[in-house]
Amino acid sequence: MLGNVALKFNYRLGGTNHCLSEPLNFKGATMVVGADVTHPGRTLDAKCPSMAGVVATYDEHAMQYLASARLQPNNTEHIADLEGMMRERLKVYYEWQDPKALPRHILFYRDGVSESQYGEVRQKELPQIRKACRDLAASYGQPVPSICLVIVAKHHHARFYDAPSSNKNILSGVIVDEEVVAPKQFNFYLQAHDSPIATALNAHYVVLEDESGYEADELQRLTHSLSFTGSRATKGLSVCTPARYADFLCTRLRCYMRPALESDLSASMGANREVNTYRQWPNIWNAPHGGQPGPPPRTARENPWDPELNYVMFYL
């Protein structure tokens, strides 16, 4: 127990708990990204915004994931300001390199997307990632990063066992990419973790775009390796670390919006309230605590946390 507490203290103070003994088989200098969206669900406030979060690495070992977050209109499935968050993450990556440089590749894991939304991700999110890359590459005089966009599906009904007549889980590291996968997509199932009790939940990875040119074996091995880079434990996660961290970030974002999620603020904000109204309201998102009802007199920053937390994994 004390060891687990020490792990949490260390990464929240900016330390690195561990890294893989063998280097990750990236195509080159790579920024690993995870993204997710959480919705308010059934609340008293019908206009309560959804929350989107992005985490991304800046170190060569892909152990440190810094965060960006945005509010967006209620129940918006795609990430509305993915371009802005990607700009933030790319700028941090650039500043931390020696010499300063943008990544040559972006490995982007998108969590929380159903099969019916794959087209929406390709049409509305992928162009935002590309625009952020092009603009910053032009600004810094750098090559435009290549993008590999992978959907991470956790909520599916595929389960695998070591034999037809057995009820034992398959071993950690098993990949299924034949027979039961979509024949016209680059996709695979991966069980990255050990599960001695109950039924193991594997993750389904669907590649929507691969400008980096990963072979199937390369991306599968890399995704499996990334499942062992979580800072909260030294074992493998059921889904790769960037997707899991994006999920943790979205859970944290709900804490900033708790008053709006648990009550109806329409009487105070008015019927014509918009996302920006919530962003600037006292006691939620990034507004100061206390004070009189109404927006603060200052310009609200986009991320809800104190700027001093921008360079640590406080959300875990």
pLDDT at 238 over 90: no
Instruction: Tally Cβ neighbours within 10 Å of residue 82.
Output: 27
Output the pLDDT for position 73.
94
Residue bearing the bigger pLDDT, 8 or 258: 258
User: pLDDT digits over 121-133, tens only?
Assistant: 999 999 999 999 9
Lowest-confidence region among 118-127, 221-230, 258-267: 258-267
The rounded Cα 312 to chain-centroid distance in angstroms is 15
- pTM, two decimals, is 0.91
Rounded to 10 deg, the angle between the 126-140 and 82-96 helix axes is 40
Output the pLDDT for position 165.
63
With vertex at residue 69, the alpha carbon angle to CA 146 and CA 142, rounded to the nearest 5 degrees, is: 30
Helices (H), the chain: 2-12, 82-96, 118-120, 126-140, 216-226, 241-256, 258-262, 266-269, 275-279
pLDDT at 297 over 90: no
Where along the chain do its domains lie?
1-154+167-288+296-309
pLDDT at 292 over 70: no
Output the pLDDT for position 255.
93
pLDDT at 176 over 90: no
pLDDT at 293 over 70: no
User: pLDDT digits over 71-98, tens only?
Assistant: 999 999 999 999 999 999 999 999 999 9
Domain 1-154+167-288+296-309 part of CATH 1.10.3720.10: no
